[in-house]
Amino acid sequence: MNSSQRNHFNTNTHGYIPPQRNYYKGRQYSQNSSQQLKDYGPYPFAINIEQATKSNNAFRTTLWTGQHMQLTLMSLLPGEDIGLERHPNVDQFIRIEQGTGMVRMGENKDTPTLQQTVSDGYAFIIPAGTWHNLTNIGQTPLKLYSIYAPPQHPFGTVHQTKAIAEEEEH
């Protein structure tokens, strides 16, 4: 059994489920997700984000869109990148769940001030207006989730408990 087959086991029966083929860049779509990957916003929503991220095989899947925030899942094939971009009015959070990548960020599009290898468990923040790109430098798909948002709390906010957070917000 090759490595791509190992990623398509049904967790209930441990039987192999052949992947569906996408006609773009040979992406494979797993059928074994217990929750459909689609946009659930703007309604209350809970999901195992690690499982959802790892089961996503599309380049980008919007999982939740609200008035002030959006959650997307991404899968980058080996050698693929997000594409050099900048969001003038949006801060972004990215967490890697699988694979290895190279993130580059900076105020100038041609000279990154941060260049870092990232892998499973790494997270990075992209401030609004920052040029950035993420490239899959590994041999397997790079799986990540990304949160896009304007600031929701004053700079430096720390809430040690829920009660303190509720008190400060009202």
Environment class of residue 53 by beta-carbon count within 10 Å: exposed (0-12), middle (13-18) or buried (19+)?
buried
Q: Is residue 3 part of a domain?
A: no
Residue 168: what pLDDT?
65
Distance in angstroms (rounded) separating the CA atoms of residues 68 and 124: 20
- Cβ pair 138, 146 in contact under 8 A: no
Domain count, the chain: 1
Q: Write down the pLDDT at residue 34.
A: 61
Cα 169 to Cα 161: distance, rounded to the nearest angstrom:
13
Any idea what DSSP says for residue 161? S
- pLDDT at residue number 42: 85
Task: Provide the phi-psi class of 41: left if phi over 0, else alpha when psi is between -120 and 50, else beta.
Answer: beta
Report yes or no on 70 lying in a domain. yes
Q: Could you tell me if residue 124 is inside a domain?
A: yes
pLDDT < 50: residue spans in the chain: 1-33, 151-166, 169-170
Q: By residue range, what is the domain housing residue 139? A: 33-169
Structural domain includes residue 87: yes
How far is residue 105's CA from residue 118's CA, in Å, rounded to a whole number? Answer: 13
Mean pLDDT value across the chain: 75
- CATH at 135: 2.60.120.10
Is residue 17 domain-resident? no
Whether 25 is covered by a domain: the verdict is no
In a domain, 20, yes or no: no
